[in-house]
Amino acid sequence: VHLISDRLRTLIHEHTGLRERSGGVDRIADIVQSRVHALSLAGAEEYARFLNCGGSEANSEIRTLTVCLTTGETHFFRDRGQFDLIEKTILPALIVERNASKNLRIWSAGCSTGDEPYSIAMAVDSLLANRRDWNVEIFGTDINLQALDKARTGAYTDWSFRVIDDDRKHAYFDGSSGQWVLKRRIRNAVRFGALNLIHDKFQLAGIRDMDLILCRNVFIYFKHYSIQSVLDKMVAVLRPGGYLLTAHGELHGQEPAQLEALCYPESSVYRKRAHAKPKPALAEVGCLAQKALPAPKPAAVAPVSELEQMARDFANKGDHETAEALCKRVLEGDPFAIRTYYLLAKIAEERKQTDGAKEMLKKALYLAPDYVAAYIDLADVYEREKNAERAQKLRLSALECLRHPRGNSEELCEGATPADLIVVLESMVNEAVNVR
Ligand SMILES: C[S@@+](CC[C@H](N)C(=O)[O-])C[C@H]1O[C@@H](n2cnc3c(N)ncnc32)[C@H](O)[C@@H]1O
């Protein structure tokens, strides 16, 4: 039997945002033991120091720990009642509401091996007769990279089909005798990506303006405080009128004021109020920022070139070497291609080269003093290095740029909307002020 101190157990729950589950002590001790072994550390105390040291290695270990402490159990059309509600009520209502724009954005948060977002893709496919006229984007995110790899293959065994009817199975899957592969058009309908719901900023992963968020059987693992902060972040990326569906009773009465609960016989579902106000900003924060900052010059942001786009595509696929080589070629042709410095910083972060990431972000900011995304990323680096003061200053700078945009603000947010970023940054800045 392995033993670990209460302090280490608390530390693990603090870092992962997960709650202590009954009877979980022995399991945590076993997990710690196996992680100590995998990392070739001397023992549990050294493991505690490793978790506390911040930086990308500690972050990656927190992801691994989260995966060990949660399960990826899922299957197609899980909770038939909720799926009936989605297919017969929520999706038809959204299709009517969005008929003018023909845009629909759906996010399965904590999607594990993809059964949930693919079930949604099948439901949308059968509901939209004129599917080609619509732009339907379905996102599946999870902290577990292996589960995401499996999701991308679209290959499943009979175990995933516990509640799917045979007609649907044969309409959307090819295969037989226990091995099934989703048809390509359904596979292509879902975009998968890694995202830590507790620590990551959703907008920076392209998660915004959602019509429907499914986050089912995920909140059960989270501490009260983590549920609250993840919910706030979710509300910020929901469109007014957009829906949030959790598993039954997962929110324990913690619904934010911006959501109203709608009760159907099959399940409750939350809807963002049409005039939901973001959390109030700290007026004095704005004054501080104005005093602290020089007036930023607007940067000349050229559209992303073909070569730069190729670099982005390789980086997204995880081929960092090719992406880096392409970035260098872009910069040889145009040393002011500021978004290329940002991409290089992202690649350096992925490769856990913190100093390289810092250097590239500083270069981007030197050339474009209103580069909001670069401020935010640099702030994160300093926060991981426990330099809270520097992180706070950088976030205030980002807020200042967002409040007084001088053109280019959309491009320099790198996929997030300025309005969403203001909400996120204000809450981070407020939180830091309260901690002090
Ligand atoms: C039980 S599965 C739920 C799958 C699916 N939503 C369903 O209901 O069938 C829980 C998933 O949440 C993921 N998860 C747990 N903590 C997470 C976090 N902090 N960020 C992102 N995903 C997380 C796990 O990796 C796991 O795949």
User: For the segment 231-270, what is each residue's pLDDT rounded down to a tens digit?
Assistant: 999 999 999 999 999 999 898 778 888 999 998 888 989 9
Burial of 241 (0-12, 13-18, 19+ CB in 10 A): middle
Q: What's the predicted TM-score (pTM) here? A: 0.67
Cβ pair 216, 112 in contact under 8 A: no
Q: Report how far residue 43's alpha carbon sits from residue 35's, in angstroms, rounded to the nearest whole number.
A: 10
The response to whether residue 79 sits with its C-beta less than 6 Å from ligand 1 reads no
For residue 112, the ligand 1 atom closest to its alpha carbon is: 27
410 and 299 Cβ atoms separated by less than 8 Å = no
- Using the CB atoms, write b or e for 385-407: b if 16+ within 10 Å: eeeeeebbbbbbbbbbbbeebee
Which runs of E-coded beta strand occur in 152-203? 155-157, 173-176, 179-182, 190-194
Handedness of CA 79, 80, 81, 87 (dihedral sign): positive
Q: Would you say residue 436 has pLDDT above 70?
A: no
Taking the CA of residue 66 as reference, the ligand 1 atom at the shortest distance is 16
Q: What percent of the chain has pLDDT over 90?
A: 57
> Which pairs from 297-301 meet CB under 8 Å and 24+ separation?
297/369, 297/370, 297/406, 298/370, 298/406, 298/407, 298/408, 299/338, 299/367, 299/368, 299/369, 299/370, 299/371, 299/408, 299/412, 300/336, 301/338, 301/339, 301/368, 301/408, 301/411, 301/412
**pLDDT score recorded for residue 291:** 29
Whether 196 lines ligand 1, by a CB cut-off of 6 Å, is: yes
Q: Is 197 in the pocket of ligand 1 (CB under 6 A)?
A: yes
d(CA 289, CA 398): 9
Ligand 1 centre to CA of 323 (Å) is: 30
Q: Which atom of ligand 1 is nearest to the CA of 108?
A: 6
pLDDT of residue 24: 76
For residue 319, pLDDT over 50 is answered with yes
Residue 433: pLDDT above 70?
Answer: yes
Average pLDDT of every residue of the chain: 87
* pLDDT at site 289: 30
Task: Give residue 110 CA to ligand 1 midpoint distance, Å.
Answer: 4
pLDDT at 297 over 60: no
> pLDDT tier at 303 (50, 70, 90 boundaries)?
low
**Is any ligand 1 atom within 6 A of the Cβ of residue 193?**
no
Asked if residue 301 has pLDDT above 70, the reply is no
- Give the ligand 1 atom nearest the CA of 16: 19
